[in-house]
Amino acid sequence: MADMGALLDGVAEALADGDPGRALQRLSELERVIGLAGPAAPGLAERLAHLRELAEAAVTGVADARAILVAARQAVQDAGTYDEAGEKTIHRGPATQLGRF
């Protein structure tokens, strides 16, 4: 049987690494282990459910942030200015990146 503490550490590490999908997988493993281990400590199921919601929100937040960055980069690439001679200068944005994601 897997160590519950190790699984919780795995959830925390996955979230710290910016991998909410792996965090959800670890939570599923933890829920399975707790189900096999018998009655859990009072309130543990509620705390796990809250942690799952946070991990799912992280997945959504990362996807939303990526979409915003892509749209912002496209807007920068489409923007242009004109110099004194009337020549258009296209501005290139940096590669889309969000922290470790």
Q: What Cα–Cα distance (Å) separates residue 77 from each residue in 64, 68, 81, 86? A: 20, 14, 11, 19
What's the confidence (pLDDT) of residue 37?
A: 61
**Count of structural domains, the chain:** 1
CA distance 52 to 3: 19
CA distance 52 to 64: 18
What's the confidence (pLDDT) of residue 101?
A: 44
- Give a yes or no: residue 83 inside a domain: yes
pLDDT string in tens for the chain (101-residue length): 467 788 888 888 887 777 778 888 888 888 788 776 666 566 777 777 787 788 788 778 878 888 888 888 777 766 667 778 878 776 665 665 555 54
pTM exceeds 0.85: no
CA distance 45 to 31: 8
What's the confidence (pLDDT) of residue 4?
A: 76
- Give a yes or no: residue 97 inside a domain: no
- Give a yes or no: residue 96 inside a domain: no
**Burial label, 65 (beta-carbon count in 10 A; 0-12, 13-18, 19+):** middle
Q: 4-9 — which CB contacts under 8 Å span 24+ positions?
A: 4/30, 4/33, 4/34, 4/37, 7/33
- Give a yes or no: residue 98 inside a domain: no
Domain that holds residue 32: 4-90
